[in-house]
Amino acid sequence: MRGGLELANEVEVEVTVNGQPFKRRVQPRLLLVDFLRDELGLTGTHIGCDTGHCGACTVMLDGVTVKSCLLLAAQADGSEVQTIEGVSRREKLHPLQQAFLDHQGLQCGYCTPGMILSSLFLLNRNPNPSEDEVKRAIDGNLCRCTGYLGIVKAVRTAAATMSKEGSA
């Protein structure tokens, strides 16, 4: 009971976000995206449609991309989450971020965090994707500015950069 209002059970969430452990008590209905943004202050993960269509809220949960607006914070208990804040390598942009910049894979930037995470998932799985494979991999992420051409080019450029780095 709190303030006379009967609350549903709170649950404890222990989660590692971008390598850093956090522990919070939350209401079960708190969504993962709100947890990241409002509880942890990680506002790089965006809320676009809030209905699971646009992919702006995409984060990595235990190595796979999910839409954080369709997940309860409680469900991340015991998991590792990676958000856009955890993509760069210290002060240096990740090759994907650099390629998005170089190829103008963004304009307003709203979809970009989700785009980067979906692209990262693709490259982890398929280091040398074709143009069609890139298009397919980001088809759960809507961009209303770029027309996608710059994005697809950026992802393929990043793939080339990363495989060069990997073999170096």
Partner 1 sequence: MRPRSFEYHAASSLGEALNLLSKEEDTKILAGGQSLITLMKLRLATPASLVDINSILELNYIREEEGRIMIGALTRHDQLATSPLIRGKCLLLAEAADLIGDQQVRNRGTIGGSLAHADPSADLPAACTALNAEFKLTSKEGSRIVETQDFFVDFFTTSLRQREVIEEIRIPIPSPRSGGAYGKLTKGHNDFALVAVAAQCSLSLEGNCEAIGVVLGGVASKPTHATETEGKLLHECVDDRMIHESALKADAGLDPLPDPRGSSELKREMVRRLAENTLGIAFRRARRA
Chain contacts with partner 1 (rule: CB under 8 A): 7-9, 11, 27-29, 31, 34, 50-53, 55, 58, 64-67, 69-72, 74-75, 77-78, 118, 121-122, 136-137, 139-141
Q: Quote the least distance from Cβ 162 to partner 1, whole Å.
A: 19
Q: Which is nearer to partner 1, 24 or 102 (CB)?
A: 24
Residue 56: what are its φ and ψ, rounded to 5°? -65, -25
Where would I find the beta strands (DSSP E) of the chain?
A: 11-17, 20-26, 58-61, 64-67, 80-82
Q: Quote the least distance from Cβ 37 to partner 1, whole Å.
A: 13
Q: Which is nearer to partner 1, 102 or 148 (CB)?
A: 148
Q: Quote the least distance from Cβ 10 to partner 1, whole Å.
A: 9
In whole angstroms, what is the distance from residue 68 CA to residue 102 CA?
Answer: 28
Q: Quote the least distance from Cβ 92 to partner 1, whole Å.
A: 27
In whole angstroms, what is the distance from residue 32 CA to residue 72 CA?
Answer: 5
In whole angstroms, what is the distance from residue 145 CA to residue 112 CA?
Answer: 11
